[in-house]
Amino acid sequence: MSKLSGACLCGSVRYEISGDVQSFFHCHCSRCRKATGTGHASNVILKPDSAAFTQGESLISSYPVPGAKRFRTVFCSNCGSPLPRIAPDLSIAVVPAGTLDDASDLQVTDRIFWGSRSAWSCDSGSLPAWDEYPVR
């Protein structure tokens, strides 16, 4: 993948990603639904060194969900827009796809936590849908 740029809604925080996309999930879990207010989060998964903030880092806030081992939201404290979570301790960067400026070349790979979806969620179409994480 060539370098892609992204930003929050107000444009104060900017970032870039590069390198190989490991996965691109629509995640239907209850935490992603709460965090996004929608039927699923759409997240590009990369290695942590494939994502970097380039502007506005002082505005980045995060919220660790009580009781969650890994789940944490990252967002702009000015506009509330979700932002990438770059977590070297978990060997992962989770990039909210909707915050990319142009991701038209990226293809969603899977739907995950399909078993947790809301009744009104969109249907799976041709994508593989997993009850939790993909098993390959």
Q: Which residues bind Zn ion (CB under 5 A)?
A: 8, 10, 12, 76, 78-79
Nearer to Zn ion, 15 or 113 (CB): 15
Look at strands 14-17 and 4-7 and give their pairing.
antiparallel
Minimal distance in Å, beta carbon 19 to Zn ion? 25
Residue 65's nearest CA partner among 42, 19, 34 is 34
| Residue in the structure block whose two tokens are 């770059």 | 86
Minimal distance in Å, beta carbon 98 to Zn ion? 13
Nearer to Zn ion, 21 or 94 (CB): 94
Nearer to Zn ion, 77 or 116 (CB): 77
Minimal distance in Å, beta carbon 8 to Zn ion? 3
Nearer to Zn ion, 23 or 78 (CB): 78
Residue type, 82: P
**Helix, strand, or coil (residue 131):** coil
Minimal distance in Å, beta carbon 5 to Zn ion? 15
Length of the chain: 136
46, 96 Cβ separation under 8 angstroms = no
